[in-house]
Structure 1
């Protein structure tokens, strides 16, 4: 775990060193869902049809950072902590096919910066198989279902303080544009929630599992910033994602401040050279 007064974040070395814990500093209430190896905050990519099967459903090649749908864990190569930073490296597992993906390497560099966490994700594919262009999660984010309202901006005037859009996703994937590159799931009873800002992503996919009032551990609210691209032989990519806990107003301001600072000081944090030819998911 790493923690300050605003945010606490932790990884699980037994499940691919995925991010299993997110809360305010000092809080005992985890805002993430960790029901199985497909949940958490983690890297997940899609490729070719490989004949794999997910509980009776045909599936594609899908290296997942934490492990497989039968909860076989990924191979952790590094999980270290220094100060308020965590570094992890893994060989993921194919979600439906179960096998370790020795030809995929994933890295996460997690650090706290005031009110937010900076997550730098890297993936490298050293295999020989061609993979088609697919919708990719940047990253997959699974939250507590009590965070029931999804908020984002999808208009033509980003970062101008214009009115936001609010949705309550159902149990089937819904896709939206995010012209400010962020979305937040908010608990309507408290007005607070979790925001996810991935500067390279212009779209999201989302759904929610379970019924209102349910306490089942399998219930969750899901969102992933998305782009379309292919993991071809030799592909390597890094990108930043920023996580913040707060009200919608606080989240939007923090992400706007991050963007402004990065434009003037670290513009590479808002882009990824490997995704220069990638397209929005919708």
Structure 2
């Protein structure tokens, strides 16, 4: 959850997340439980060896649960305004319930002994018993010491505004006070047995920090390198930390470790948005080995036939959901930017960038920028201009990134500035973007 949500929760008395209705999956190594009285959030995960629940259930802002963010900020509904300390949260339905201890409602639940599927109507965290105009679906199954999960947000919002992208929790994971060491792989040699790192020290008053975990995992560990790992296939952006004091494995204790996969996403009023994740209960070596099974093959590529693939905008917008074989981006604001999700690649493996796009504009060139591993944002040195074929037809725009001396080493993200300035009626349609070793 949002950092300030945790800071508020430490002022509350501990409340039990135990419910009368639970749904269980169990195999020889682990046991999983979801709470059907609280939106089907994961409230129990334990090794078969000791049966000790590692999931924190201090209040309804913990657990392992789905949580999404969009505008407006602040968000109001049914005449309610959020308290001042929640004004910055905006639109934020969460799976378990709300800050007023109201529980989200289950619509459907199926458990065949191999997989749990459930649908819930989440509640807006900062408001009192206000359902989100959306549903959450979760599919959960077990594989050894791994929980394999698929999740979906389906929006049916009456507010049809396309709000800017915001960071999402994919998902939010809270473990007990025994698991106070936050560990990930953050360097530029992923999947080579290079040394792991502790999470960065938080800056400011909040206990969470952000990092790039280039192997797609992070973990909350005890003193013996055992704990709960979060794997986010295809994603490398994380937030997390530890709040309170290291202590016992107490599911109702206030001290907690936190992890979340992160992505900047536009959540349209009618979107169906899916993601996958895995939870691993085991040693850090087991967590890391599982993550390696999701190692990306080849250089990053994105096809926009069905969704945005995690790309988002600054000073631009598109024609909305659902997509029709491509993105249609309006370029009528000054300095429009088209920004990739965080990922990782080696520049030497991908000297070319190939953009399959159509342009309608009087301007003659665009710019590509890149963010190097270990840096913040985009440097004025890390860019290259490319000519636009602006005849309203699709063309392959091939750009030799390696012609710029600074395109070297590990890379994290791309930014495409299709044009430099505002232009009435200008647009860009994009079918695909890919990094490649060859210009074909």
Q: State TM-score, norm by structure 2.
A: 0.58
For residues 273 and 27 of structure 1, what CA distance do their matches in structure 2 show?
Answer: 43
Pick the aligned partner of 1:227 from 245, 252, 263: 263
- Superimposed CA distance per residue, residues 99-154 of structure 1 (whole angstroms, 9 cap, x where no aligned partner): 43352111000001223110111111121323331111000001112101111111
Deviation digits for residues 40-80 of structure 1 (CA, Å, limit 9, x no counterpart): 11100111111442574423110001110111011211122
Contact 1:149/1:187, CA 8 A, preserved across alignment:
yes
Provide the aligned C-alpha RMSD in A. Answer: 2.4
Match of 2:70 in 1: 47
Note if 1:140 corresponds to 2:202: no
Residue of structure 2 equivalent to 1:97: 127
Q: What is the SS of the residue equivalent to 1:212?
A: coil
Q: How does 1:160-199 map to 2 (within 5 A)?
A: 160-167=192-199, 171-188=206-223, 190-199=224-233
Bigger radius of gyration among the two? 2
Is 1:155 aligned with 2:155? no
Give the secondary-structure state (helix, strand or coil) at the position aligned to 1:136. Answer: strand
Aligned residue number for residue 157 of structure 2 = 127
Among candidates 108, 129, 139, match of residue 78 of structure 1: 108
Q: Is the 2:150–2:277 contact (alpha carbons within 8 Å) kept by the matching residues of 1?
A: yes
Q: What is the SS of the residue equivalent to 1:106?
A: strand
Q: Say how many residue pairs are matched.
A: 272
CA distance in 2, matches of 1:232, 1:153: 33
In structure 2, relative to structure 1, the CA distance for the partners of 1:41 and 1:69 (3 Å cut) is: same
Q: Is the 8 A contact 1:86 1:111 kept in 2?
A: yes
The 1-side partners of 2:110 and 2:49 are apart by 22
In 2, the alpha carbon distance for the partners of 1:181 and 1:255 equals 7
Give 1:168 deviation, angstroms.
7.6
Task: Identify the match of residue 236 of structure 2 among 199, 202, 217.
Answer: 202
Greater relative contact order: 1 or 2 (C-alpha under 8 angstroms, separation 6 or more)?
A: 1
1:192-228 CA-partner distances (Å, limit 9, x unpaired)? 1111101132211113221234767222111101000
**Contact persistence 2:43–2:64 (CA under 8 A):** yes
Q: Which has the higher helix share?
A: 1
Secondary structure at 1:34 match in 2? coil
Q: In structure 2, how many angstroms separate the alpha carbons of the residues matched to 1:253 and 1:178?
A: 14
2:138 corresponds to 1:115: no
Report if aligned partners of 1:226, 1:280 keep a CA contact under 8 Å in 2. no
For 1:149 and 1:66, how far apart are their aligned partners in 2? 26
Contact 1:119/1:241 (CA < 8 Å) preserved in 2?
A: yes
